[in-house]
Amino acid sequence: MAGGFAKDGAVQDQIDATIEDAVKHARAQLPRGESRKNCEECDAPIPEARRAAVPGVRLCVKCQSEIDEASKLRSSINRRGSKDSQLR
């Protein structure tokens, strides 16, 4: 049961929308096209097993890990601005 001006299920709708946004963002980050033989950041060779496992791969494991770690730090903020998140 929702209280105030919020409709029933508003919190769940917000959660669903946040998850949907995250999935869209993740899909947009997936590599496309032909895999590179060398990393485009550091020019290190990309192993054949990685190129087979991740079609369209552009980065070596080390560079990709650094980018993933940096994006993890930025994405920890709830940008939807729910009343609950504003009160904390």
Q: Looking at residue 69, what is its pLDDT?
A: 87
Q: Looking at residue 45, what is its pLDDT?
A: 96
User: What DSSP assignment string belongs to 4-37?
Assistant: TTPPTTHHHHHHHHHHHHHHHHHHHHS--SSPPS
Q: How far apart are the first and last CA of the chain?
A: 22
Q: Looking at residue 74, what is its pLDDT?
A: 62
- pLDDT of 4 strictly over 70: no
Q: Please, how many CA atoms are within 13 Å of residue 86, restricted to the half-sphere of its CB?
A: 4
Domain positions in the chain: 27-75
Which pLDDT tens digit goes with each residue over 23-69?
998 888 787 888 999 999 999 999 999 999 888 999 999 999 998 88
| Residue 75 pLDDT level (bands cut at 50, 70, 90) | low
